[in-house]
Amino acid sequence: MTKRQATTVQPLSRSSKTPLWQQLEHELRRRIQLGDFVDKFPSDRELMEDYEVSRHTARHAVSSLGRDGIVQRSRGIGTALNSGRITQSLGNLYSLFQVVEAAGVDQKSIVLTIGPTSDAEIAKRFGLAGDEPLFHLARLRLAAERPIAVDYVWLPGAYTAKLAQLDFSHTALYDELERSGLGRPTAGSERISAVAPSSNVAELLGLNGDIGVLELVRQGERSGKVIEWRTTYIRGDEFSLVTDWQRGRRSEMRLEQNELTADLQN
């Protein structure tokens, strides 16, 4: 069997406001998504040498991957990919952020709604009374100025104070949850469907009647409590769902850019 060639190591930015450990985590997620580390995950020492970071930074980044179940550490063996679960969580907009970033395409978000709201049906998802306040963030995601996704997310109202004033034009929500000390989801469930877009979604994405969307509905949990309800609509002509499988291993699903989006790089 031919061994898949490793992708190029991308240097971390010392001038970025994003902590080095988060940059390294994002970089490792990018490489995992592209197929690296199937045979061997790098040791802390190798990460320190490849990315010129401290042992603390390397361990922090890998520990974050471990909390999401992407890798697992074993005493005397080291760190390895956790082949018993889906490698990339498709309902996580952070993953979409990484897919576009890894493609080298300029991206940004247009914030449609941000701040406190109320919704009786969604409040029930959190085990709250119908009149309890929630935090709502809606964004239109652009790649090379082209709309590719619309994302709607609700969080408990207690999150409003730390999130409502943030700039979400070029960042991942889960990163901001970490930076704010709120913590991102560590478990949850997700449903993926191919649907006809509503008139509002079609207008935002610039779709005609012949193009459908992928609807990703996610419930995120932390410490046994629901802390996130999210619905994302991704252009059906920009991304596909791909399953990689190998005998003796559980199949793994991922998002893959279609040629239309890849052409944006040229």
Average pLDDT over residues 49-67: 90
pLDDT tens-digit series, residues 182-229:
988 888 877 888 888 999 999 999 998 778 898 888 888 888 889 999
pLDDT band of 99, cuts 50, 70, 90: low
Per DSSP, what are the bridge partners of residue 228?
Answer: 220
Give the pLDDT confidence score for residue 53 in this predicted structure.
94
Average pLDDT over residues 238-246: 64
Q: What is the DSSP string of 202-214?
A: HHHHT--TT--EE
Separation between Cα atoms, residue 45 and residue 50, nearest integer Å:
9
Q: Does domain 20-81 fall into CATH 1.10.10.10?
A: yes
Q: What is the DSSP string of 70-117?
A: SEEEETTTEEEE-TTS-SS-TT-HHHHHHHHHHTT--EEEEEEEEEEE
CATH code given to domain 93-265? 3.40.1410.10
Contact 5, 162 (CB under 8 A): no
Separation between Cα atoms, residue 80 and residue 73, nearest integer Å:
7
Amino acid at 134: L
Which tokens belong to 132?
């309890």
| Domain spans of the chain, in order of start | 20-81, 93-265
Give the pLDDT confidence score for residue 160 in this predicted structure.
95
- Among 73-82, 129-138, 152-161, whose mean pLDDT is lowest? 73-82
Q: How far is CA 124 from CA 120, 133, 201, in A?
A: 7, 12, 24
Q: What angle do CA 253, 151, 119 make, to 5 degrees?
A: 120
